[in-house]
């Protein structure tokens, strides 16, 4: 497995999430993991809010804290080539390292740059079978599938940071990235197949930013939604 930096968006002090992620990353120790611990709600001072945020995001909230941690991850990644960012509720599928290696190879062969690559199906959206090509893992898209697991290169990180410093953001991390994609500031690709999913979305863990339900019923319901949408994609 090619060793690249990998940043974990984490609420400092949340022992359950730390334990959950420690177990996950121990299974993928070939990556260069580090936690983004700064940027908790209590860390959001006026200087941070004034520098990066406006509107509803110019407040000390869990959404703003999460978005700021993504900014810190991008700052850490600007000195790198490609880097991985995951949130601290991510579940890696069994093919994670195999597909990730194939993706990194495709990036190198095609010279992909100034890009963000969505790796998750936390929002169950998939590449239609008619659009898939043999031995191709990346497909251009104009939106993110949330921001729970993605690759980004230093060029895209620098462009995103330049934009948010100049214009500020009133959007959560995933919608901010989608905005940059739609205005052609950065490019976006989806991985096919997806190789990760957020457990706070599929019901496996409680959310730290809102009141989404969790538990067995949501897991079953989410699993059915994913199955239906995968099936539809396979017949398109």
pLDDT in tens, 139-189: 999 999 999 999 999 999 999 999 999 999 999 999 999 999 999 999 999
Quickly tell me which residue has 């997806």 as its tokens: 194
- Domain residue ranges of the chain, discontinuous segments joined by +: 5-234
* Whole-Å CA distances, 100 to 1, 187, 209: 8, 18, 28
Instruction: Please give the pLDDT value at position 92.
Output: 97
User: How sure is the predictor about 135, in pLDDT bands with cuts at 50, 70 and 90?
Assistant: very high
How many whole angstroms separate alpha carbon 129 and alpha carbon 123?
Answer: 18
Q: What is the pLDDT of residues 57-114, one digit of tens each?
A: 999 999 999 999 999 999 999 888 999 999 999 999 999 999 999 999 999 999 999 9
In the predicted model, what is the mean pLDDT of residues 37-42?
A: 97
Quickly tell me which residue has 């989410």 as its tokens: 222
- Topology annotation, domain 5-234: Spore Coat Polysaccharide Biosynthesis Protein SpsA; Chain A (3.90.550)
Let me know: does 8 contact 16? Beta carbons within 8 Å: no
* Whole-Å CA distances, 7 to 83, 90, 93, 160: 8, 12, 18, 17
Answer yes or no: is pLDDT of 208 > 90. Answer: no
SS3 13: coil
In the predicted model, what is the mean pLDDT of residues 208-220?
A: 81
Mean per-residue pLDDT over the chain, rounded: 95
């Amino acid at each position: 497995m090619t060793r690249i930096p990998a940043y974990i968006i984490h609420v400092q002090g949340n022992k359950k999430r730390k334990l959950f992620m420690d177990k996950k990353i121990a299974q993928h120790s070939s990556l260069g993991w580090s936690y983004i611990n700064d940027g908790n709600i209590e860390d959001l001072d006026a200087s941070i809010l004034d520098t990066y945020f406006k509107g509803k995001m110019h407040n000390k909230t869990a959404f703003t804290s999460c978005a700021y941690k993504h900014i810190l991850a991008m700052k850490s990644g600007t000195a790198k080539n490609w880097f991985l960012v995951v949130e601290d509720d991510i579940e890696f599928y069994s093919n994670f390292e195999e597909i990730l290696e194939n993706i990194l190879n495709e990036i190198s062969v095609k010279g992909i740059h100034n890009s963000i690559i969505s790796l998750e199906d936390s929002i169950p959206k998939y590449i239609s079978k008619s659009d898939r090509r043999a031995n191709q893992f990346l497909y251009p898209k104009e939106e993110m599938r949330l921001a729970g697991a993605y690759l980004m290169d230093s060029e895209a990180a620098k462009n995103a940071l330049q934009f948010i410093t100049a214009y500020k953001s009133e959007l959560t991390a995933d919608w901010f990235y989608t905005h940059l994609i739609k205005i052609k500031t950065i490019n976006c690709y989806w991985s096919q197949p997806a190789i990760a999913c957020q457990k706070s979305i599929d019901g496996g863990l409680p959310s730290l930013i809102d009141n989404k339900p969790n538990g067995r019923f949501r897991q079953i319901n989410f699993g059915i939604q994913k199955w239906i949408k995968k099936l539809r994609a396979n017949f398109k």
